[in-house]
Amino acid sequence: MTSPGMKPPLSTRRHDLDWLRVIAFALLIFYHVGMFYVTWDWHVKSTHSSPLIEPVMALLNPWRLALLFFISGVALHFAIAKTTIGAFLKNRTVRLFVPIAFGMLVVVMPQSYFELLYKGEIEPGLIAFYPDYFGLPPGPFSIITPTWNHLWYVVYILFYTLILAPLFPVLLWLANGPAARFFAWLERDRSGFLIVAIPVLPFVAYRLFLDPIFPTTHALFDDWANHAHSLTIVVLGFLAAKSPAFWSAIENGWRKALWIVIAGAVIIVTARLNYGAVRASDTVWTLVQVIRVVYAWAMIVTLLGMAQSYFNRPSRTLSYFSDAIFPYYILHQTLIVAIGFALLDAGLPAWLEATLVTSGTVLGCIVGYELVRRAGPARPLFGLPWKEKAKPAPAPRLLTTHPAAFIASAEP
C-alpha cells in the first residue's frame, strides 16, 4: 500500500485506478436503480417515484462517467505502447464490437419490450415482440429499436479508439512534449489550486457554448456536446498517463479539491431543492451549471488523489471484480428494468420494492457472471477472452489486463 503523500511509481501496477474503475461501475449500477425511483424520465418507473433521492443522484451524475472516460484514456496510452496500432485496433474492435452487437440483439432487447409494454404500445409476448424490435428506425414505436441503451458507453469508447488510433504518434508527441511541460507547470504550483482550475476550463467552455445547442442523446451521430466532454477527458487521461508531474500535481492538490467538492455539493443540493426558482433565472441556472462542471473535475482530482494515496494495493476482491465488472455492466440495466416491471403491480411498500430490485439486480449480476465465466462460447459475448487465463505470478505492470477492457487494458 502506498503511504499517504507518496504517488505510486509509474512502473508498478496501478491498483488505485483499478479500484476507482470498479467503484465507479458499482455506483453506476446503483445509480440506474435510482433512476427507477426518481421523477426523471426512464424506461420504466416505480409507482413510488419521488424527488426524495434526486439530490444524491445529482451529486453522482456530473462525474461518474467522466471518471471512467479519464481512466479509459490512461489505459489507452499503455495499451497502444505494447503492440502495433494495427494489432491493437483488431483486438479492441473484436473485444468491444462483439459485446455491443450481442447486447443490442439479446441483452438490451427486453428493456425495449418492458418499456413499450409499460407505455401500452404493445401487447404481452416477448417472443412475438422480437421481430418488431428489428424494425428500421424510427420504427412503429415511440422509441428507436434496435437500440444500445446503456451500452452507449462501450460504443463511444470503441468509436474514440478508432478515431484516435491514427493520431497515436501525435498524441505520444504531445504527451512527451507540450503536455509534459504543462503538467510540470501544474506540479510547481504548491498551492494545489491550478490542477483544479486549469484543466477544467475547456469543459466549462463546452458547458457554456455547446451544451445549450446540442442536448445529450447518446445516439453517437448527433451527440456533439457530449462527444466534446467525453473525448476531451479521454485525451487528457492519455496525455497524463505516464506523467510523473501530473500525478504529483494530483497529490499536491487533491485535498484542496476536496474542499471545492464539499462547497460544490452544498450548492448543487441547494439548487436541486430549489429547482423551480433556480431554473426561472437564466443567469442563476448557468452559474449552477458551471459550478457543476467545476465540482465534477474537483471530484475526479479528489478521487485520483485519495486512490493513489490510500488504495494502491491489490486484493482478491479487486482481482475478482476487475474480471466481473464488464459482464455486470452489460447485464445490470436489463435486470433492473425486468425486476422493476415485474413488481409494479405487487403493491409493495417502497422500502421492500427497492430492496428486491437492488438485491435482485446484484444477485442476477453475480449469477450471470458465474455462469458466463464458465462457458467458453459465451465469454466473448460479455467481453471476456474465450478461455479464462491462468493467474500469472505478480509482475510490474500498469493498470489491468483483465478482460473488462472496454476501457482498454494497459501494460508498460
Residue 356 near residue 343 (C-beta atoms within 8 A)? yes
The reported pLDDT for the residue numbered 313 is 85
For residue 233, what pLDDT is reported?
Answer: 98
Q: What is the DSSP string of 84-145?
A: -HHHHHHHHHHHHHHHHHHIIIIISHHHHHHHHHHHTSS-S-HHHHHHHHTSPTTTTSSS-S
Query: What's the pLDDT at 402?
Result: 39
Residue-wise pLDDT tens digits, 379-406: 999 999 887 765 544 444 444 433 344 4
- Stretch 106-134: mean pLDDT, rounded? 95
Write out the DSSP string of 272-297: HHTHHHHHH-HHHHHHHHHHHHHHHH
Please say if the pLDDT value at position 10 is more than 60.
no
Residue 153: name the closest of 234, 225, 65 by CA.
65
Instruction: Please write the tens of the pLDDT for every residue from 39-78.
Output: 999 999 999 999 999 999 999 999 999 999 999 999 999 8
Mean pLDDT of the chain: 90
Block residue for cell numbers 505494447: 82
Q: Report helix angle 224-240 to 64-81, nearest 10.
A: 50
pLDDT at position 160: 97
Cα maximum dimension of the chain: 64
**What pTM value is reported for the model?**
0.90
Per the model's pLDDT, the better-predicted residue between 407 and 345 turns out to be 345
Q: Residue 136: its pLDDT value, please?
A: 65
pLDDT in tens, 277-327: 999 999 999 999 999 999 999 999 999 999 999 988 888 999 999 999 999
How sure is the predictor about 91, in pLDDT bands with cuts at 50, 70 and 90?
Answer: confident
| 250: Cα separation from own chain's centroid | 21
At residue 397, the pLDDT reads 42
Cell 485525451 sits on residue: 235
Looking up cell 436489463 gives 334
pLDDT at 412: 28
| Percentage of the residues of the chain whose pLDDT score is greater than 70 | 90
Say yes or no to pLDDT of 411 above 60. no
Residue of higher predicted confidence among 377 and 139: 377
Whole-angstrom distance, CA of residue 57 vs CA of residue 31:
7
Closest by Cα among 205, 200, 206 to 227: 206
Q: pLDDT tens digits for 171-230?
A: 999 999 999 999 999 999 989 999 999 999 999 999 999 999 999 999 999 999 999 999
Q: What is the mean pLDDT of residues 149-157?
A: 97
Domain boundaries, given as residue ranges, for the chain: 15-108+148-386+396-407, 120-147
Confidence class for position 245, pLDDT limits 50, 70, 90: very high
